[in-house]
Amino acid sequence: MYPLNGATRVLCILGNPVSHSLSPAIQNAAISACDLDYIYVPFSVRPQSLGEAVSGLRALGVSGFNVTIPYKTAIMSYLDKLDESAAAAGAVNTVSISGDHMTGYNTDGHGLISSLADDLSFVAGSDSIVVIGAGGAARGAVAALCRAGAERIVLANRSYNKAVQLAAEMSNRYEKTCIKVSAQDQLSENHLNSASLLINTTSLGMKGDRISFVDLARLPKSAKVYDMVYSPAETPLLREATAKGIAAVNGLGMLAAQGERAFTIWTGKIPPKGLMKRVLQDICHS
């Protein structure tokens, strides 16, 4: 990396807390690999100081920044423009700064689509896709799948009404995709047998809990399973899928791909393929 100097361009991440963030490791690895005079640093920001922090970044000429919990929605009111990815997801995780102008993006959806292609050889089309969850991660996933050409999506969530609301919003925005809602107790019997892909967007599995209403035996053998949870590396959902001979991966590839997209938005450069994922794997396995 270049020695820090007055020409060094700054990238950062805002959140509270941010000490756990893996973004500095993957972004600085990409900066070094692309031989750029940049540096990426984490900033912990108190909720009452978010507006001041954004104004400060703008005044200091920071090139761009990531946004993590709990500010992915709150940050939107401080920006000048929202990319379609952010407007559809209702959340921002990446901001580019050009002069005084701030544009918000959501690269999580891009990360999902890229990871599905790279890690599972899955490309959205006429297949039926089942999405577990109706929160922020599900919103971004559904929007990205619709933009990628998915023709049929079935939502299943603990709160049925929340899933209905999400389906209605996305159906209005993406009219070419048929989005339906399933009650949890009817999912396995009525929808899994025709699904080509099952995506878990919830935190279920993070603490070793299984998704009780999903019977993977109902899935076709050719179906695939994607679990956005990446820590632990193998959730009960992934273990069960593997035991049944179903191709399945965790969300590490998505995390890497969304970081790659953010890096390109800021710098105009494409990081070496696989670099960010290798860095993440080294961290998670250390």
Would you name the residues annotated as active-site residues? 72
β-pairing, 64-67 vs 94-98, is: antiparallel
Task: For residue 226, list its beta bridge partners.
Answer: 199, 249
What is the C-alpha to C-alpha distance for residues 221 and 74, in angstroms, rounded to an integer?
42
Give SS3 for 95: strand
Q: Which residue from 105, 153, 131, 154 is spatially nearest to 265, judged by alpha carbons?
A: 105
279 and 150 Cβ atoms separated by less than 8 Å: no
CA dihedral 135, 104, 283, 117 (to 10 degrees): 70
* Bridging pattern class, strands 195-200 and 128-132: parallel
C-alpha triplet 281, 282, 286: angle, nearest 5°: 115
The span from the CA of 279 to the CA of 286, in Å, is 11
Contacts of 20 (CB under 8 A, 6+ apart): none
